[in-house]
Amino acid sequence: MFQKLQSKWKVGGWQLFLIFCVFAITGTLTAYISRQITGWLDIDRTSPWFWVLKILVLIFGYQIIILIISFPFGQFSFFWNYEKKILRRFGVSFPGNDSTVSGNTSEVSLTRIAIFASGAGSNAQKIIDRFRNHLYIKVSLVVCNKPGAGVLSIAQKEKIPFIVIDKERFFRSDAYIPVLKEHEIDFIVLAGFLWKIPTELVRAFPNKIVNIHPALLPKYGGKGMYGQFVHEAVINAGDKESGITIHFVDEQYDHGAAIFQAKCLVVDTDTATSLAEKIHVLEHIHFPRVVEEVIEVQRAR
């Protein structure tokens, strides 16, 4: 049931929990207020006015209370759109579209993601798929350091703006921060991006840059440890398990605080290629979901 609701509402597990909290508190508070009002007015339960008042409180009071309660839980955007859907059923119309941006404003406060990638872009595609019709998260830019990389074809297909960055400007000039600001980027996802993130960019997006590493950090991290090199190191060391680490990005390679890890077994017959396939499965399952949950937590603060 919970998975169906997540799919229907396009929310992650953490946001679903917050939504349930808002519903539960609103229902309890509405019932309490209804009892207080009927008691204060001293209306007999057998009177038709008792039930008229009850219905009015439930219909109108509930809708107002749920919006008020949603504020401290960071879910006002979700419930405001929930309320608008109800009002539309009664013929009330609203200008614009709830999930699109018009000019520099939007009815829903969007969190705009920039995906940084260097290769084929399979993780980028999964993230784009996750947020294609999301209520408040949008992939707004693809950033790549390799002309002709597969991720650029994905961006073109998905009609997402993209840029190919220059190494000199990225490391020794403005780190493309003005370009990111121009696209109103709020959050950066590194999905197979092989360059180290400059200090200026880390400081411009504190705790707003996440990376996925194809090993269980702190093992097999650091400069040069990416792709097949990581998997070969794991197999050569004789490790019995490997996995993925999703972590915040700081000024050092593969060093920021870990957010999530998932493991897979390494068997004697594994090669770097077969282990890479296992890791890709974990990446595709978990990375988009964890990105969504991190953004939800930050929006709720």
Residues marked active site are found at 213
Rounded to 5 degrees, what are φ and ψ at 141?
-160, 140
Contact (Cβ atoms closer than 8 angstroms) between residue 137 and residue 110? yes
Q: Which amino acid is at 90?
A: F
Which residue from 166, 163, 145 is spatially nearest to 155, judged by alpha carbons?
A: 163
Q: Which residues contact 184 (CB under 8 A, 6 or more apart)?
A: 104, 112, 140
Strand 101-102 relative to strand 137-144: parallel, antiparallel, unpaired? Answer: unpaired
d(CA 266, CA 12) in angstroms, rounded, equals 30
Contact (Cβ atoms closer than 8 angstroms) between residue 235 and residue 275? yes
The three-point CA angle 16-3-58 to 5° equals 50
Contact (Cβ atoms closer than 8 angstroms) between residue 210 and residue 248? yes
Residue 255 burial by Cβ neighbours in a 10 Å radius (0-12, 13-18, 19+): middle
The three-point CA angle 266-272-274 to 5° equals 65
Residue 78 burial by Cβ neighbours in a 10 Å radius (0-12, 13-18, 19+): buried
d(CA 226, CA 93) in angstroms, rounded, equals 52
Strand 241-248 relative to strand 209-213: parallel, antiparallel, unpaired? Answer: antiparallel
